[in-house]
Amino acid sequence: MSFVIALAGKGGTGKTTVAGMLLRYLVEHGKTPVLAVDADANSNFNEVLGLEVDSTVGQAREEMKKGGGLVDITKDQLIEMRINQCLVEADGFDLIVMGQPEGPGCYCAANNLVAHFMGVLSKNYPYILMDNEAGMEHISRLTTSNVDLLVLVSDPSWRGIQAASRLQELARQLKIVIGRPILIVNRASNGLSAKARAEIESRGLELAGLIPEDQGLAEFDAMGRPTYALPADSPALQAAYDIFARLLP
């Protein structure tokens, strides 16, 4: 079975950037191959990774709805073929992007399409890393596997910490089986306020560590460069690696 890591957090916390750092850590430490899943409707994981995406699951779903199926092929074979067409292969990992369906409505159908094939995919990957939007519904639909590590990403503000605690509670309400939920505070320039620390303690959050504000990372973002390629001496990357080493020895 794959070790499933899911990231969640409110917008603007740098969740996807942290997901890219975590993916890089897994690859550099030989925990490969990794299946990276961009389950955020506002897909930009590929930009963090510096990859081009030609086909998303949402698009594949729309194509299948319009027909154009192949003769002498079962539905399961067609689904498997479409999912494989959506995989972007990279060094040490593959990326699959949920994307947005062309038609109106929710993302349930695209999620179900991945869920149908996730069991097959998981046999090929020791690690699955899912970058999710703020809600936890995608996790509950994407896979029937347990989430071994839930990484809640917040900024240092009290409101950010509060939002992370609500996500943890939402995961419980959805009956997602989580081996270990942890909190990472990103963009921390002066540590945490007493109020933020009190919120963490009162909500029963496990603080795994802080990632500092990093001017070099901000410059990468400003120039549209993939933060996956940050230099090894990046303060943010070094702090993130220290955290990951404790979580994933």
Single-letter amino acid code for the residue at 79: I
pLDDT value, residue 10? 85
Identify the bridge partners of residue 183 per DSSP, sorted by sequence position: 152, 207
Per residue in 8-49, pLDDT tens?
988 889 999 999 999 999 999 999 999 999 987 778 899 999
Other beta carbons within 10 angstroms of residue 127's beta carbon come to 23
Angle between helices 194-203 and 158-173 in degrees, nearest 10: 10
Torsion (CA) 170, 174, 177, 180 in degrees, nearest 10: 0
Torsion (CA) 136, 141, 144, 150 in degrees, nearest 10: -20
CATH architecture label of 3-247: 3-Layer(aba) Sandwich (3.40)
Percentage of the residues of the chain whose pLDDT score is greater than 70 = 80
Is the pLDDT confidence value at 116 over 90? no
Find the DSSP H helices in 33-157.
45-49, 57-65, 75-86, 108-122, 137-142
Per residue in 144-185, pLDDT tens?
457 899 999 999 999 899 989 988 888 888 777 889 999 999
pLDDT value, residue 144? 43
Is the pLDDT confidence value at 81 over 70? yes
* Better-scored residue on pLDDT, 129 or 103: 129
Q: Do 226 and 189 form a contact (C-beta atoms < 8 A)?
A: no
Domain borders along the chain are 3-247
Q: Is the pTM of this model over 0.95?
A: no
Q: Map residue 162 onto helix, strand or coil.
A: helix
Length of the chain equals: 249
